[in-house]
Structure 1
Amino acid sequence: MPIENSAAPASHPSVKFGKVGVLLVNLGTPDGTDYTSMRRYLREFLMDRRVIELPRWKWYPVLFGIVLNTRPGKVGKAYDTIWNREKNESFLRTYTRNQSEFMAERLKDLPNVVVDWGMRYGTPSIASRIQALKDAGCDRIVLFPLYPQYAAATTATVNDKAFEKLLSMRWQPALRTVPDYHDDPAYIEALANSVQRHLATLDWEPQMLVASFHGIPLSYFEKGDPYYCQCQKTGRLLREKLGLSEDRFMVTFQSRFGPEEWLQPYTDKTVEKLGRDGAKRIAVINPGFVSDCLETLEEIAEQAAESFHHNGGENFAHIPCLNDSEDGIRVLEKVVRRELQGWV
């Protein structure tokens, strides 16, 4: 007998279905800047096997014996300098929520689409939001890791966590994972627009535009991760879009952690060298970050600026991420509409 003609048990709740979910997922954020919140966040992040690929017997003594006892206080102080006081949360959470709300507004012409957001580490979790979308009647979900360039430590671990949730579900939604968009013309145009708009507010012109991407260990690249190549292509396309010569633009990598060699050139060493070598005016953009966060607001806008000035530089500009700007949302919308094709 067809299911739709069968009488459900009296105690069985009504089942919603027929909608399509869009889940925007960013890296994550601590719930507060206090030691306990930071330790909880760092523990989840640094236990991810995609992030730290060392054998557990080698990594855990370092993680639990040193890192989780020393870094929460230090990182908490850094977060405190860039905390969104008005909402008592990190700007990454603020911007990701805004991106979700603006996306929902832009997709109002698709009444069956439900937009939500989550974090790989911290709250709201990927599992909780997939469940919420399923409960809202979404039997198909577009999972959108908010990383323009693919890396196993970012995009793949978001996908892993979503698949892990599906393992526990009796009625799984169909899942589409959004691929990287490192060379999408709309993304490159949005980056170029943001550079031009920001530089137009300055009364000086940078001698060098530095495109700083988050780094990964060199060994990850050597094992086949495409991240380095995609960052280089994003950089080249942005430089060409801006009409800059190769001697006025460079790609660098930031945020290295631990003793292992990471992708080079390193952003911090590059900024120091530019100052020592006589550059007086530079600007830095972070094309790999969809939203401003600790790595952009504190590591670049504060630390890198201070380092540049200390080494002889005079003018330093940090160009904000696309965040929840009109251009930024337009890029995300284009990607989402492309991935929804055939479902709506």
Structure 2
Amino acid sequence: MMHNKVGVLMVNLGTPDAPTSPAVKNYLAQFLSDRRVIETSPLLWWPLLHAVILPFRASRLAKLYQSIWMEEGSPLLVYSQRQQKALAARRLPDVSVELGMSYGSPCLAKAIKKLLSQNLTKLIILPLYPQYSASTSAAVWDAVADILKRYRCLPSIHFIRDYAEHPAYIDALKQSVERSFKKQGQPDRLIVSFHGIPKRYAKLGDDYPKRCEDTYRALHTALALPENKMIMTYQSRFGCQPWLTPYTDKTLKKLPVQGVKHIQVICPGFAADCLETLEEIKQQNREIFLKAGGEKFEYIPALNDAPAHIDLLEQLIVVNA
């Protein structure tokens, strides 16, 4: 009889190896070449990407990364590694946990090789995206499937699509918000900001907006706040085409005129703090709100390696092992 051995592959987006233009350029070239991320024909997209976008965007983003870089490295990588170590420390019987990134290091291929060398009977793929999107979760599936083509002997595969409404996830978010309210006082509005996607992707069938709405509704119910105390928005748009609305930055610019002077912002779509939360929200959007007449702005950190977050990840593994 085969002894059960489970491998868990935790996957997040990825990050540059250093806050420098060359490192950012290498990372962006890989990320923005994925057809799941940019669906434009490569014949049209790649010349634009390499001739215009990378040369100009890399240097600008490098400066932004420098403003959030931690002593141990990129925040996304640092917190993802802490998550992996914390989950592995739970010592689940016959379960090994590895971390890989869709783009950049540590690469998926090495993480998968390390897991499959242990004669697994099951491989659980855990994308660290609470809300499914074709541009994130499905991109993980594509990348893993391409790597697994190299192996003759494969274990059973279980893919965790998302966990947008999981009770432990909602409870972890609730705890986060309540800690912030206790420390900073209850704000006039709680802004719940998700990463956006082009509206066209949703029209073509990506159910990401619905999954974001599911998370928002569940969190709103858990917090039991009045209807007008929470606002759901979308951030991080890129390019010229319309993205999901309302936009976070434009919403924050309008709120002070409406008498909203104190806000707190949480970004439930990010399992770990990164450029989009620490620079875009905590720095850029804070400045937008205060310049528009706001008085108090607090960013509620991502769940990162908080014990309640590791509890959630452990539950996802145990139920699927």
Give the TM interval when normalised to the shorter protein: over 0.9
- In the other structure, the counterpart of 1:120 is 102
Q: CA deviation at 1:18?
A: 5.4
- In the other structure, the counterpart of 1:57 is 43
Cα pair 1:17 1:137 within 8 Å, conserved: no
Q: Which residue type is aligned with residue 152 of structure 2?
A: R
- In the other structure, the counterpart of 1:276 is 257
Whether 1:67 aligns to 2:53 is: yes
- The equivalent position to 1:47 in structure 2, one of 33, 36, 51, is 33
Q: Which residue type is aligned with residue 23 of structure 2?
A: S
Structure-to-structure mapping, 1:1-344, within 5 angstroms: 19-85=5-71, 87=72, 89-106=73-90, 108-110=91-93, 112-202=94-184, 204-340=185-321
Q: Which residue type is aligned with residue 17 of structure 2?
A: D
Q: Indicate the SS of the match to 1:48.
A: coil
Root mean square deviation, CA, Å = 1.5
Deviations 1:43-84, CA, capped at 9 Å, x for gaps: 000000000011112211211111111011111111111101
Q: Which residue type is aligned with residue 159 of structure 1?
A: W
In structure 1, the gaps of 5 or more residues are: 5-15
Q: CA deviation at 1:136?
A: 2.8
Q: Indicate the SS of the match to 1:150.
A: coil
Q: CA deviation at 1:242?
A: 0.7
Question: Once the two structures are aligned, what percentage of the paired residues are identical?
Answer: 43
CA change 1:311–1:226 in 2 (3 A) is same
Q: CA deviation at 1:186?
A: 1.1
Report the number of matched residues.
321
Quote the Cα distance in structure 1 between the aligned partners of 2:132 and 2:226.
27
CA change 1:279–1:83 in 2 (3 A) is same
Q: Indicate the SS of the match to 1:306.
A: helix
Q: Indicate the SS of the match to 2:126.
A: strand
Cα pair 1:278 1:312 within 8 Å, conserved: no
Deviations 1:148-205, CA, capped at 9 Å, x for gaps: 1000000000011000001111222332111211011111111011000112111x42
Deviations 1:231-255, CA, capped at 9 Å, x for gaps: 0111111111111122110110000
Quote the Cα distance in structure 2 between the aligned partners of 1:138 and 1:104.
16
Q: Which residue type is aligned with residue 29 of structure 1?
A: T
Q: Indicate the SS of the match to 1:144.
A: strand
Quote the Cα distance in structure 2 between the aligned partners of 1:39 and 1:173.
36
Q: Indicate the SS of the match to 2:89.
A: helix
Q: Indicate the SS of the match to 1:200.
A: helix
Bigger-Rg structure (1/2): 1
Query: Which runs of at least 4 in structure 1 moved beyond 4 Å after TM superposition?
Result: none
CA change 1:17–1:33 in 2 (3 A) is farther
Q: Indicate the SS of the match to 1:283.
A: strand
Quote the Cα distance in structure 2 between the aligned partners of 1:48 and 1:179.
19
Cα pair 1:147 1:154 within 8 Å, conserved: yes
Q: Which residue type is aligned with residue 63 of structure 2?
A: K
Q: Which residue type is aligned with residue 58 of structure 2?
A: P
Quote the Cα distance in structure 2 between the aligned partners of 1:209 and 1:240.
14
Q: Indicate the SS of the match to 1:142.
A: strand
Quote the Cα distance in structure 2 between the aligned partners of 1:77 and 1:173.
43
Q: CA deviation at 1:226?
A: 0.7
Deviations 1:93-122, CA, capped at 9 Å, x for gaps: 11111111111111x240x21111110010
Quote the Cα distance in structure 2 between the aligned partners of 1:147 and 1:130.
19
